């Protein structure tokens, strides 16, 4: 196959990728959003070919005609890197996107950095505040991952060994990412806005994590944390570094930012936001109020607790189809499969149900202990059970929040899917598993809504965050007396397989 080189302008970033890799796989890592999930309809993923060649297939060609751009533009979501390329990424040049409309930002002088501090990955974007242009992007894996891939194991590690080391390692990593963003640029940084889940906020800020570890799981330290670069030991000049406030004990500022990105907090119609990241957070409501909760759904979708699970990165099976010849798998980065990520897991379970290889209770009907997907990658009976726990957590959470507001699924105008692998999700297959139950045309894939929201927060003085926070009510799902019954009821696939 061989490698090709791709340069992303205006960042000047050089990437090596396997020949034939989809540009969606490549660009996703750099914070590029794919709002229509790669259907080619929204046009937000456009890239301009500066050097090289991308030959569109007939559907891609049709979509380009519909957008009526000049001939050098392509849709990244429908393109593959078959040769060396230099591309100008449209999203890095245009205004911030929110809810598929242009965000009306208030220009100011100077520069800001938006940071999404995820449990698994970190993204930082340098933004020119006069134009909202992204000038540079840095990404990294969260170095704390070696102490547990999900929040619970990270908390356990911190409880046993202390959290100081976890705090210093994440501060160091983000400090060096921001230094890289500023290197070779003669600019001074006005502010940094950081968002992340509550555990990440506590660990970054050096707060006591014990309240998040024991019943009633309520921390007194959910508000905005402010620092200077000197306090964090960062080798840059910046007096204003803010970690934005959490909504509740397990609903962090990443969700606050996601709410901002969707605009759901100021609309009359009801919307749902589901983040299938580590924590499985759900928000339901409208401008009268938003109800927010977290579920324990995330780890399975991020590869934890799945025998061959992995993040949505190179080598992960990201989609599974049943064709005439049997099961076919798409692998991120166009390389041999080394594991399966959340979207692949959802697809696989759906295909196995549809083809009668799994029963209504998730049992492998052949009686074998595992099912082979491709090459070495298999799903075990325990993997299927982990999936059932995750999908039941989401389904039960949605049911309880809708019930709280006296709403039915028909009352929901928009369903936003966020999360690391959200762009790759096949919605029909996800619906087939029973995880959610809304009409297909209500769904919008957001990608990294936390990062979009963090960028948007760079253009307000904190009052937007306060306004959104004032709309939010946090709910502990497990305090509902029938939670267990609802959860257990949703473990099975009996609806899907009947
Ligand atoms: S057109 Fe590519 S993501 Fe919408």
Domain boundaries defined on the chain: 3-94, 102-243
Q: Which residues of 73-86 are buried (b: 16+ CB within 10 A; e: fewer)?
A: bbbbbbbbbeeebb
What spacing in Å lies between the alpha carbon of 112 and ligand 1's midpoint?
27
CA-CA distance, 141 to 343, in Å (whole number)? 20
What spacing in Å lies between the alpha carbon of 40 and ligand 1's midpoint?
4
At 95 the three-state DSSP class reads coil
Q: Is the pLDDT of residue 96 over 70?
A: no
Q: Is the pLDDT of residue 100 over 50?
A: no
pLDDT-derived band at 108 (thresholds 50, 70, 90) equals: confident
Among 94-103, 219-228, 315-324, 429-438, the range scoring the smallest mean pLDDT is 94-103
422 close to ligand 1 (CB < 6 Angstrom): no
Mean pLDDT of 82-98: 72
465 close to ligand 1 (CB < 6 Angstrom): no
Mean pLDDT of 163-192: 95
pLDDT-derived band at 62 (thresholds 50, 70, 90) equals: very high
pLDDT-derived band at 497 (thresholds 50, 70, 90) equals: very low
Q: Is the pLDDT of residue 385 over 90?
A: yes
27 close to ligand 1 (CB < 6 Angstrom): no
23 close to ligand 1 (CB < 6 Angstrom): no
* CA-33 nearest atom, ligand 1: 3
- Which of 22, 27, 28, 38 has most ligand 1 atoms within 8 Å of CB, for mutation? 38
The C-alpha angle with vertex 370 and arms to 367 and 373, in degrees rounded to 5, equals 125
Helices within 142-270 (DSSP H only): 151-161, 164-182, 198-205, 210-213, 229-232, 253-262
90 close to ligand 1 (CB < 6 Angstrom): no
273-301 pLDDT, tens digit per residue, is 999 876 789 999 999 999 999 987 666 77
336-353 pLDDT, tens digit per residue, is 898 998 899 999 999 999
Selection from 472, 483, 460, 482 nearest residue 112 by Cα: 460
pLDDT-derived band at 1 (thresholds 50, 70, 90) equals: low
What spacing in Å lies between the alpha carbon of 422 and ligand 1's midpoint?
13
CA-CA distance, 182 to 371, in Å (whole number)? 49
Q: CA dihedral in degrees (479, 208, 456, 462; nearest 10)?
A: 100
Q: Residue 321: how many CA atoms within 13 Å on its side-chain side?
A: 7
**What local confidence, expressed as pLDDT, does residue 95 receive?**
42
Nearest CA to ligand 1 atom 3: 34
pLDDT-derived band at 101 (thresholds 50, 70, 90) equals: very low
Burial status of residue 62 (CB atoms within 10 A of its CB: 0-12, 13-18, 19 or more): exposed
Q: Is the pLDDT of residue 109 over 80?
A: yes
CA-CA distance, 122 to 236, in Å (whole number)? 19
**What local confidence, expressed as pLDDT, does residue 104 receive?**
61
Q: Is the pLDDT of residue 236 over 80?
A: yes
43 close to ligand 1 (CB < 6 Angstrom): yes
31 close to ligand 1 (CB < 6 Angstrom): no
How many percent of the chain have pLDDT more than 70? 95
Q: Is the pLDDT of residue 85 over 60?
A: yes
Nearest CA to ligand 1 atom 1: 40
What spacing in Å lies between the alpha carbon of 290 and ligand 1's midpoint?
29
How many percent of the chain have pLDDT more than 90? 61
**What local confidence, expressed as pLDDT, does residue 160 receive?**
92
- Which of 22, 34, 94 has most ligand 1 atoms within 8 Å of CB, for mutation? 34
Q: Is the pLDDT of residue 144 over 80?
A: yes
How far is Cα of residue 407 from the mean position of the Cα atoms in its chain?
Answer: 26
pLDDT-derived band at 99 (thresholds 50, 70, 90) equals: very low
392 close to ligand 1 (CB < 6 Angstrom): no
What spacing in Å lies between the alpha carbon of 458 and ligand 1's midpoint?
25
Residue 381 belongs to what H/E stretch? helix 381-404
Do domains 3-94 and 102-243 share one topology? The answer is no
* CA-75 nearest atom, ligand 1: 2
**What local confidence, expressed as pLDDT, does residue 495 receive?**
59
* CA-63 nearest atom, ligand 1: 1
CA-CA distance, 267 to 325, in Å (whole number)? 47
Alpha-carbon Rg for the chain, nearest whole angstrom, is 22
36 close to ligand 1 (CB < 6 Angstrom): yes
Q: Is the pLDDT of residue 437 over 60?
A: yes
**What local confidence, expressed as pLDDT, does residue 103 receive?**
58
CA-CA distance, 194 to 178, in Å (whole number)? 12
CA-CA distance, 490 to 129, in Å (whole number)? 46
Q: CA dihedral in degrees (235, 238, 243, 244; nearest 10)?
A: -160
Mean pLDDT for the chain?
89
Two structure tokens written together for 41: 């309809």
Burial status of residue 322 (CB atoms within 10 A of its CB: 0-12, 13-18, 19 or more): middle
Q: Residue 293: how many CA atoms within 13 Å on its side-chain side?
A: 25
**What local confidence, expressed as pLDDT, does residue 494 receive?**
74
* CA-36 nearest atom, ligand 1: 4
Helix, strand and coil percent figures for the chain, each rounded to 5: 35, 25, 40
Mean pLDDT of 226-249: 96
E strands, 255-315, in order = 270-275, 281-286, 289-294
74 close to ligand 1 (CB < 6 Angstrom): no
- Which of 61, 75, 97 has most ligand 1 atoms within 8 Å of CB, for mutation? 75
What spacing in Å lies between the alpha carbon of 63 and ligand 1's midpoint?
10
Greatest mean pLDDT among 132-141, 328-337, 354-363: 354-363
What spacing in Å lies between the alpha carbon of 415 and ligand 1's midpoint?
18
40 close to ligand 1 (CB < 6 Angstrom): yes
**What local confidence, expressed as pLDDT, does residue 145 receive?**
82
Query: CATH for 3-94?
Result: 3.10.20.30
Q: Is the pLDDT of residue 53 over 80?
A: yes
* CA-42 nearest atom, ligand 1: 4
- CATH 3.30.420.480 assigned to domain 102-243? The reply is yes
Selection from 202, 185, 494, 195 nearest residue 358 by Cα: 494
What spacing in Å lies between the alpha carbon of 119 and ligand 1's midpoint?
27
Q: Is the pLDDT of residue 34 over 80?
A: no
* CA-41 nearest atom, ligand 1: 1
């Amino acid at each position: 196959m061989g490698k090709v080189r791709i340069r992303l302008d205006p960042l000047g970033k050089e990437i090596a990728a396997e020949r034939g890799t989809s540009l969606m796989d490549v660009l996703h890592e750099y914070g590029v959003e794919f709002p229509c999930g790669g259907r080619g309809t929204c046009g937000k993923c456009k890239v301009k070919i500066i050097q090289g060649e991308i030959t569109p297939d007939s559907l891609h060609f049709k979509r380009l005609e519909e957008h009526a751009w000049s001939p050098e533009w392509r849709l990244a979501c429908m393109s593959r890197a078959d040769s060396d390329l230099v591309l100008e990424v449209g999203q890095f040049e245009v205004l911030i996107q929110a809810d598929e409309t242009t965000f009306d930002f208030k220009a100011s002088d100077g520069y800001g950095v938006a940071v999404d501090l995820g449990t698994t990955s970190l993204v930082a974007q340098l933004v020119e505040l006069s134009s909202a242009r992204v000038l540079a992007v840095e990404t990294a894996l969260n170095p704390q991952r070696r102490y547990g891939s999900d929040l619970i194991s990270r908390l356990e590690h911190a409880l046993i060994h202390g959290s100081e080391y976890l705090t210093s390692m994440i501060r160091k990593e983000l400090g060096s990412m921001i230094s890289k963003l500023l290197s070779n640029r003669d600019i001074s940084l006005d502010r940094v806005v950081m968002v992340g889940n509550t555990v990440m906020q506590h660990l970054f800020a050096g707060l006591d994590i014990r309240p998040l570890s024991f019943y009633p799981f309520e921390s007194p330290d959910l508000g905005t944390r402010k620092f200077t670069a000197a306090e964090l030991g960062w080798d840059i000049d910046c007096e204003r570094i803010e970690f934005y406030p959490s909504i509740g004990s397990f609903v962090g500022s990443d969700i606050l930012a996601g709410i901002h990105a969707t605009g759901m907090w100021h609309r009359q119609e009801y919307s749902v936001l589901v983040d299938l990241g580590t924590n499985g957070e759900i928000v339901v409501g409208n401008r009268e109020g938003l109800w927010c909760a977290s579920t324990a759904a995330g780890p399975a979708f991020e590869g934890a607790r799945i025998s061959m699970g992995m993040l949505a990165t190179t080598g992960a099976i990201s989609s599974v189809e049943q064709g005439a010849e049997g099961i076919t798998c798409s692998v991120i980065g166009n390389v041999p499969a080394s594991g399966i990520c959340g979207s692949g897991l959802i697809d696989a379970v759906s295909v196995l149900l549809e083809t009668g290889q799994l029963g209504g209770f998730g049992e492998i009907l052949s009686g074998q202990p595992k099912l082979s997907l491709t090459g070495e990658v298999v799903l075990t009976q325990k993997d299927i059970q982990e999936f059932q726990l995750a999908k039941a957590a989401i389904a039960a959470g949605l049911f309880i929040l809708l019930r709280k507001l006296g709403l039915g699924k028909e009352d929901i105008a928009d369903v936003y899917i966020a999360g690391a692998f959200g762009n790759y999700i096949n919605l029909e297959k996800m619906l087939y598993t029973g995880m959610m139950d809304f009409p297909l045309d209500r769904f919008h894939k957001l990608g990294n809504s936390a990062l979009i929201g963090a960028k948007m927060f760079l253009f307000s003085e904190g009052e937007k965050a306060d306004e959104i926070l004032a709309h939010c009510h946090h709910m502990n799902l497990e305090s509902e007396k029938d939670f267990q019954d609802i959860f257990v009821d949703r473990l099975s696939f009996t609806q899907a397989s009947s």
